[in-house]
Amino acid sequence: MAALALMVFVLVLFAGSRWIPGRLVPAAVTDGPAMATGEAAAQGAGASRVYRLNGARLFALTAGVAAGLWIWSPGVLLRPYRHWGELLLAANVFAFTLAGLLFRTGRRRVPAASRPSGRWRGLGDYFYGVERNPVWAGVDLKFFSYRPSLIGLFVFNVSAAAVQYTGQGSLSGRMLLYQIFFFVYLANYFQFEGGMVHTWDLIAERFGWMLVWGDYVLVPFFYGVCGRTLIHLREPLPLWLGAVCCALFVFGFWLFRGANDQKHRFKTGDAVTIWGRPAKTLGGRLLVSGFWGIGRKLNYTGELLVYLSWTLLCGTASLLPYLLPLFLLVMFVHRAHRDDRRCRVKYGRLWEEYCRRARFRMFPFVY
């Protein structure tokens, strides 16, 4: 039953992504090394692909259904929480199966000469993927997979709130703040979904088990661990802690969204001014204004603070919620190093000059 529910959920979102109207935006065109001929022929040049930005409508429809169920049939909202383990198992089977299908179809479409070589090439093709942007039925699977990932996380969060509400008759201050923080975070993602077109994941990463498992298992099932922890936490939220969490969320969100917005406007040619001043660049290729003139990955810092803000709502009831920001810290540091290596190859001496201008990666005066 859990497997059927999961498949229906993903297929409904897939159909919505295919057919619900939305603004079309072209894929980003990179100025880095050209894609191997075989891979380019298999999946099309970047400029020829377009993305339909209808994720906000899918999220709004899901939120509307959840609101209706909360009013008329709240018992339905308890099911994701109650069947969490079964859904987790089904999601793992789905992720491993989808990665296998991508492995097989990718190897048929992309010649061996166009794929990374090495002794463990087969395992690497499964783990990292073969194609960068596989398209099924007119839908870019990598771009689409953020939707069941984040909308699935929203469903689990609402289910946690429903469990507390039906069991205790109200939502605690901790749970209420957590739900508000997360809703704003998710709604903002879909509001600015077009910014994903210019991210490293969408442009350069191949789509294999690593990203598939992250989208369909890691994010929806483990990023909401705070919500599950808060269900049975009865300790009142101290005013000082609530204020600290709100300040962390607002500052982190401003840093995260502000840095990403500046980069997106620069990539699309709209960054005429940043913070009221003309935007400055290095060679017209690297932005050195605003947040990007201070640090090279302050968007990671902001997102980390956002996650820390709702983790602190759990207090000291359990150490489990704190594993998420710790995991994100390790992941962001690793990704910052990977991005640094890639940019050194791509931009050469220009990147060295940029690093002298923006001396910090994530934490000013620390890292």
For residue 174, the model assigns a pLDDT of 95
The SS3 of residue 66 is: helix
- The encoded tokens of residue 86 equal 């079964």
For residue 46, the model assigns a pLDDT of 46
For residue 229, the model assigns a pLDDT of 94
**What pTM value is reported for the model?**
0.89
Low-confidence stretches of the chain (pLDDT beneath 50): 31-47
For residue 112, the model assigns a pLDDT of 61
266 vs 355: CA distance, rounded Å: 18
For residue 80, the model assigns a pLDDT of 96
For residue 30, the model assigns a pLDDT of 56
For residue 42, the model assigns a pLDDT of 46
pLDDT digits (tens, 9 = 90+) for 121-161: 678 789 888 888 999 999 999 999 999 999 999 999 999 99
